[in-house]
Amino acid sequence: MSKIDNTAELAQIAIDTMLHCYPSMMVTTSDVQRKNGTTQFTLRNGETFTIHTTGYVRKVRLARFGGYTCYQLNKVKKTWHTYKRLNADGRTFRDEKYYTVGRVMIPTEVERVWYLRQYLEKNRSKEIN
């Protein structure tokens, strides 16, 4: 057996494996999504998930007034920041802290497929098969 060097082939193997494990799932990628490097999966119950070349894994939901909105499934990373704030006396400063929230990008398509698979196993195990 030869070693597979092509990441696209590895990604396709990961997708095929996930589809084999979850028969109720199918790939529903449109031509525009394919051109952009996005892969879309839909479950039999209508739930839709996408993986993006930017590193995001998302759940696509129908918005309140039609159209679609996305729920990001990537892990969250909090980053703490410090700044100086002037005290009430007007002469001294104190340190104030706040944090920002960012998403952890998943670097390769294979990892994004496996991340989606883990999400489905954890959150949808009863509904998938």
Chain segment 14-70, per-residue pLDDT in tens: 889 888 888 889 999 999 999 998 999 999 888 899 999 999 999 998 877 878 888
- pTM of the predicted protein model: 0.77
Q: Is there a contact between 94 and 102 (Cβ–Cβ < 8 Å)?
A: no
**In the prediction, which pLDDT does 70 show?**
86
**In the prediction, which pLDDT does 1 show?**
44
CA distances from 85 to 82, 90, 92, 101, 119 (A): 10, 10, 8, 22, 42
Which residues pair with residue 26 across a beta bridge?
A: 42
